Structure 1
Amino acid sequence: MRTEIFGHRGSAGTHPENTMISFKEAARVGADGIELDVQMTKDGELVIIHDETVNRTTNGKGWVKDLTLVEIKKLDASYKFKSKYGFCEIPTLKEVFKWAKSNNILINVELKNGLVQYKMLEEKTIALIKEYKYEKRVILSSFNHYGMVKCRQLSPTIEIALLFMEGIYEPWDYANRLQANSIHPYHPVAKKEIVIEAQKKGIKVRPFTVNDEKHMKRLASYPCSAIITDYPERAIQLLR
């Protein structure tokens, strides 16, 4: 089995995370997929940003939930790469989906509904997936497994992935109980026996965030269904 390579927040090791320039770079180097994070603005728009606040990755301050889309769009999300790439907008999920019409890249949409309980986040995301007919191209994931159950109730066909940081006993059974198709564990807990048994039971395994070359090689040797990395070009050069 070939281990797929997903660019974490695009190509976050070399470009401003969760921006169009970062997603385009992951596609340019040949990544199989991208991973991105979805939050909701004050006026109910789906935007791509990891943190619940804009403080770390932009020149602004405040909670995403308290800012309108117009206010969000004024912020520079170039983060630590400002001197290299200049001004970068926070994109909407719709903008990413529109761009994805030009390629075949898979899209892992992580719903950030753990700390902030965004009303209608699951419904709006799934409605947009259906609008673009991306049911076979999108993987929905979250650390909030209640949200994943809700997604499964809303759609019987979109792939669902459970994110977790620590060991879960027999995660393939847990995934089956929640009607999830895959698990996305933090890479240190993606032990060989867990990966092999889960995939034997039909559950895909895509560990995150795999940036060290020895871990890339280890996980690809099992093999995992995919690895999620900040450095998709490095992973492709190593594993292809």
Structure 2
Amino acid sequence: MTLIFGHRGSAGNYPENTMCSFIAASTAGADGIELDVQMTKDGELVVIHDETVDRTTNGTGYVKDLTYEEISQLDASFKFTQFKDSASVPMLNEVLEWAKQQDQLLINIELKNGIIDYPGIEEKTIELVRNNHLVKQVIISSFNHYSLVKCKEISPEIETAVLYMEGLFKPWAYAANIGAKGLHPYYHAVKKEIILQSQNYGVAVRPFTVNEPALMEKLIKENCTAFFTDFPELAVKVKTENTPL
């Protein structure tokens, strides 16, 4: 059965990568959430997509140049101004502590170290996952495949997944080569035969970011492992309508 991951929580209707967005995704019935991790100047792991705080908060500057104390003061309501007083940039540990109280909620942690090198981000992330006893519920993904290999070396028991944008030849073989058990392609880069071949080789396929009901329905009918969506509530509805009683 196809699983639904709330992309940055429920980013279509809530401020992305905030606690209210993650709670909304879980409440909507999503099987998992996806979040992005960067590192502050003082070495704290924070949940924010961009390398800078400019787009999603009322602040400016690179995450790497700001302390967590400075970032924690920012309004992260993004374009959803109705959440102005309740949306801040959470620490990764804050999200994980909440997630472990949910009923087997899956957590996809995307390491955002493709542009900026954050020394130690893999070790710190894995330490938090282990401390929160979430090893079996976490998937670590990244566009930085060197980082995925490093994660696998540190923690063979945590699943890793390959993020990629364009056509990849025999992606299931590439995933196996770097020890990854998942493929997270941009939805334009995934075809039915790739889904089938990959899953036959024991590699999960979870495309992003799937927001159109017709595509959701197509992936569900093709028994795709999962997909990421900004609208988990809509995806749950489509899944229910396309699941035999």
TM-score relative to the length of structure 2: 0.96
Matched with 1:20 is 19
Deviation at 1:32, TM superposition (A): 0.2
Asked if the contact 2:100/2:134 (under 8 Å) is kept, the reply is no
Cα distance in 1 between the residues matched to 2:227 and 2:163: 13
What's the secondary structure of 1:107's corresponding residue? strand
Deviation at 1:50, TM superposition (A): 0.2
Aligned residues: 238
Matched with 1:129 is 129
Matched with 2:232 is 232
Root mean square deviation, CA, Å: 0.6
Matched with 1:101 is 100
Aligned-residue identity in percent:
56
Is there any run of 5+ residues in structure 2 with no aligned partner, and where?
Answer: 241-245
Is there any run of 5+ residues in structure 1 with no aligned partner, and where?
Answer: none
Paired residue type of 2:83: Y
Asked if the contact 2:185/2:207 (under 8 Å) is kept, the reply is yes
Paired residue type of 1:79: F
Matched with 2:243 is none
Deviation at 1:85, TM superposition (A): 1.8
Cα distance in 2 between the residues matched to 1:220 and 1:144: 28
Deviation at 1:221, TM superposition (A): 1.3
Cα distance in 2 between the residues matched to 1:171 and 1:234: 29
Deviation at 1:4, TM superposition (A): 0.2
Asked if the contact 2:76/2:84 (under 8 Å) is kept, the reply is no
Cα distance in 2 between the residues matched to 1:220 and 1:187: 13
Matched with 2:84 is 86
Cα distance in 2 between the residues matched to 1:97 and 1:195: 30
Cα distance in 1 between the residues matched to 2:107 and 2:132: 12
Cα distance in 2 between the residues matched to 1:101 and 1:206: 22
Cα distance in 2 between the residues matched to 1:137 and 1:85: 29
Q: List per-residue Cα deviations over 1:65-86 (Å, max 9, x = no partner).
A: 000000000110000001x222
Deviation at 1:102, TM superposition (A): 1.8
What's the secondary structure of 2:55's corresponding residue? coil
Matched with 1:71 is 70
Deviation at 1:133, TM superposition (A): 1.2
Cα distance in 2 between the residues matched to 1:156 and 1:56: 35
Matched with 1:187 is 187
Matched with 1:138 is 138
Deviation at 1:101, TM superposition (A): 2.5
Paired residue type of 1:30: G
Asked if the contact 2:171/2:198 (under 8 Å) is kept, the reply is yes
What's the secondary structure of 1:56's corresponding residue? coil
Paired residue type of 1:45: E
Cα distance in 2 between the residues matched to 1:85 and 1:123: 33
TM-score relative to the length of structure 1: 0.98
